[in-house]
Amino acid sequence: ELNLVPIYQGNSSDFGGILLVLQDVSAIRRLERMRSEFVANVSHELKTPIAAVKGFAETLLGGAVKDEETSKAFLQIIYDESERLNRLIGDILELSKIESRRVPLMLSPIEIKEFMTNTFAILEVSANRKHIDFQLSSPEELYMEGDEDRLRQIFVNLLSNAIAYTPEGGKVEVDITVTELDMIRISISDTGIGIPEKDLPRIFERFYRVDKARSRGSGGTGLGLSIVKHLVELHKGTITVESKVGQGTTFTLELPQIH
Ligand code: ADP
């Protein structure tokens, strides 16, 4: 942006020249735009479940409560939507904390293979329910320095997505290796529905979902992957994604190894 500032000396009739002020306001503008987009998205996301809660409660109050079946169904919707609101608000607060760097990491040495085995255990029930086969392959013991709770959050998020977006009887595989640059590479692959190529670059954006209706059905908030990416970066790592529609998706993380 170019600002022209006339310079006057003493008496305003003494025109002293023109001062050119060159300022890059585009970065500030971009931040402002992102912030207001975020607020707009948040409001929109919150309004949807609130509208459902309100609408079904109104219908019940209007007389539907007399029919037991209907009222049960409506109460279930009200309950589910409240839960969804709860998750949304939790994720929004979490993301804003992480983005403003208000999450001190409690670092300790973590052995990755054991850590992944324990994380699998948390999700075993939901994998079994869909008859999804979990597999872990890892060489010897590998250590990294990390915040256990935050790392748990990363892998629970990625693995529960893998389960959610993989049909019955599919497979979720975690493969751990070491790169030439001494990073621990963890790839999480599924045999699920995949992500269209055009959506891949945006997948880590806040609230971005490939198919809103479908992922809302799965209970997602569209914030999981943004949170994951921030947490990986806080651990000085990287995360990338590859996918083929109808074949599956692989998320690959690289995190610094310690010896
Ligand atoms: P959500 O809460 O909707 O799952 P995420 O931020 O975790 O939000 O993921 C964003 C979107 O990326 C999802 O809505 C889904 O469309 C897509 N996605 C994430 N993981 C996978 C996966 N393993 N397979 C297919 N699609 C996925």
- Give distance in angstroms: CA of 55 to centre of ligand 1: 28
d(C-alpha 248, C-alpha 188), whole Å: 10
Please answer whether residues 217 and 209 qualify as being in contact, where contact means their C-beta atoms are separated by less than 8 angstroms. no
Q: What is the pLDDT along the chain (259 residues), one digit of tens a residue?
A: 556 666 665 555 666 677 766 667 777 888 888 778 888 888 888 998 999 999 999 999 998 778 889 889 999 999 999 999 999 999 999 888 888 877 889 999 999 999 999 999 999 999 999 999 999 998 889 999 999 999 999 999 999 999 999 999 999 999 999 999 999 999 999 999 999 999 999 999 988 888 765 555 556 788 999 999 999 999 999 999 999 999 999 999 999 999 9
Cα 75 from Cα 78, distance rounded (Å): 5
In this prediction, does ipTM exceed 0.95?
yes
DSSP state of 11: S
Please state the atom number of ligand 1 nearest to the C-alpha of residue 190: 23
The alpha carbon of 51 and the centre of ligand 1 are apart by a number of angstroms equal to: 24
Q: List the Cα angle 185/190/196 in 5-degree steps.
A: 100
Q: What is the DSSP letter of 202?
A: G
Q: Ligand 1 test: best mutation among 195, 211, 243, 250, most atoms within 8 Å of CB?
A: 195
**For 65, which DSSP code?**
G
The residues lining ligand 1, judged by C-beta closer than 6 Å to any ligand atom, are 161-162, 165, 190, 192-195, 203, 208-211, 215, 220-225, 249
In order of 4, 8, 27, 46, the CA distances from 35 in angstroms are 29, 38, 12, 17
Instruction: Give the gyration radius of the chain's Cα atoms.
Output: 25
The first and second tokens of residue 215, run together, are 């992922």
User: Residue 222 Cα, ligand 1 centroid: separation in angstroms?
Assistant: 7
C-alpha of residue 100 to centroid of ligand 1, in Å? 24
Token pair, residue 87, equals 């998750």
Residue 184: name the closest of 151, 228, 230 by CA: 151
Give the distance (Å) from ligand 1 centre to CA of residue 199: 11
- What is the position in ligand 1's atom list of the atom closest to the CA of 204? 6
User: Which atom of ligand 1 is least distant from the CA of 210?
Assistant: 16
Question: What distance in Å separates the CA atoms of residue 52 and residue 244, rounded to the nearest whole number?
Answer: 34
